[in-house]
Amino acid sequence: MRLVSEFRQSELVGGLVQNIRRHAVKKARFMEFCGGHTVAIMKFGLRQLLPPSLTLTSGPGCPVCVTDNADLDKAIALAQLPDVIIATFGDMVRVPGSRSSLQEAKAGGGDVRIVYSTLDALALARENPGKSVVFVGVGFETTAPTVAASILQADREGLNNYYVLSLHKLCPPVIKALLDSGEVNLQGLICPGHVSAVIGSRPWEFIARDYGIPCVVSGFEPLDILQSIDMLSAQVAKGESRVEIAYRRGVTPDGNATAIKIMEQVFEPAPARWRGFGEVPGSGLSLRPEFQRFDAELNFDFDPGPTINEKGCLCGEVLRGVKIPPDCSLFRKACTPENPVGPCMVSSEGSCAAFYHYGENEDR
Ligand code: SF4
């Protein structure tokens, strides 16, 4: 077994930084898609190790952050229905929607429970046959197969009180939307390791082929990320654009066939709203017709009300990579982890939280 410490060895970090400095002869901006990468980059001070020619920009890869207020409002409205138990991952509870949060709905009498997996949500449904359990399905391709598996399990057991509010999102379509917008000029993409463990590296090939942008799938330790940056810099230096895998211990070109099959059995692609992007075609997952009896949106009568976005919050711009958290006038003032105004300050993968905790001396 390889230990995490192996991927944090300072002498190896030093060697990789030397390689990066040798390769990074051209000015380049790389986006780390994934919020997990942003946190690791900030936590380990990796930006400060890079030569001035390289800039790193955070992307939209934080599922909690990209959940639109309109969708959050649905979960909050469902929490206010009688005999409904909302089962959700912890990060979602404090995220402000248009008028309140799940936490406030709970304080107001709603039954909101934090779960650690869909197994917990299924257990809640079994233990509470007189109530309806709605699992708030927020996550990327990494999470969707486990939610799909929970629906198949509920189907097998004949559970008729288990529902999913499917707010899942697919990553490649939003990158396409970002690149098509022309708002950010990227010379490289650090592709998400966990998502790619499921979908493989092939779904990123259109970025290298159609947009000429080098891609490297990265793990989450400092050495993984520096190696990915070095591989991207080497491609840029040679004028190449390919998809490479730096995270070979977790990712193959074809991904996890079992997880993909389960996901595709239960879900089908659908349009989805992303904070900061609006609706992106084919970037969400809705339940296939044969599983719609588990679809919370179709089986409850609820009114999420009009969508309101917090004035001054730049989460949308941060998620599109056109602003950084210190650009927001509320950062560290009205918006802190204790009193978050936007989701990027709530989520453990949010850029604003990462800058708040680790970005004291951040200047680019
Ligand atoms: Fe939104 Fe707060 Fe980040 Fe500003 S600092 S962009 S208000 S989460």
Give the residue extent of every domain in the chain. Answer: 1-312, 315-358
Rounded Cα distance, 110 and 122, in Å: 19
Atom 7 in ligand 1: residue holding the nearest Cα? 313
Cα(35) to centroid(ligand 1), Å: 15
Atom 8 in ligand 1: residue holding the nearest Cα? 342
How far lies 265's CA from each of 38, 172, 287, in Å? 32, 20, 9
Cα(226) to centroid(ligand 1), Å: 28
Rounded Cα distance, 98 and 73, in Å: 7
For the domain made up of 1-312, the CATH class stated in words is alpha beta
Whether the pLDDT of residue 209 is over 70: the answer is yes
Rounded Cα distance, 73 and 101, in Å: 8
Buried b (16+ CB within 10 A) or exposed e, 206-233: bbbeebebbbbbbbbbbbbbbbbbbbbb
Buried b (16+ CB within 10 A) or exposed e, 157-184: eebebbbbbbbbbbbbbbbbbbbeeeee
- Burial of 248: CB neighbours in 10 Å, binned 0-12, 13-18, 19+: exposed
Cα(45) to centroid(ligand 1), Å: 21
Which residues, other chains included, contact 122 with Cβ-Cβ below 8 Å and sequence gap of 6+?
A: 150, 153, 154, 159, 162
Residues composing the chain: 364
Q: Which atom of ligand 1 is nearest to the CA of 328?
A: 4
Cα(208) to centroid(ligand 1), Å: 32
Task: Give mean pLDDT, residues 72-90.
Answer: 97
Residue-wise pLDDT for 285-318, tens only, equals: 999 999 999 999 999 999 999 999 888 999 999 9
> Which tokens hold the place of 205?
């090939």
Residue 362 pLDDT: 54
* 290 CA to centre of own chain: 28
Q: Which atom of ligand 1 is nearest to the CA of 346?
A: 8
Cα(100) to centroid(ligand 1), Å: 16
Q: What percent of the chain has pLDDT over 70?
A: 96
Q: Which atom of ligand 1 is nearest to the CA of 344?
A: 8
- Mean per-residue pLDDT of the chain: 95
Residue 10 pLDDT: 74
pTM confidence score:
0.93
Rounded Cα distance, 40 and 282, in Å: 29
Q: Which residues does a 6 A CB cutoff place in the pocket of ligand 1? A: 313-315, 318, 325, 328, 330-331, 335, 341-342, 344-345, 352
68 in helix, strand or coil?
Answer: coil
Q: Are 313 and 331 in contact (CB under 8 A)?
A: no
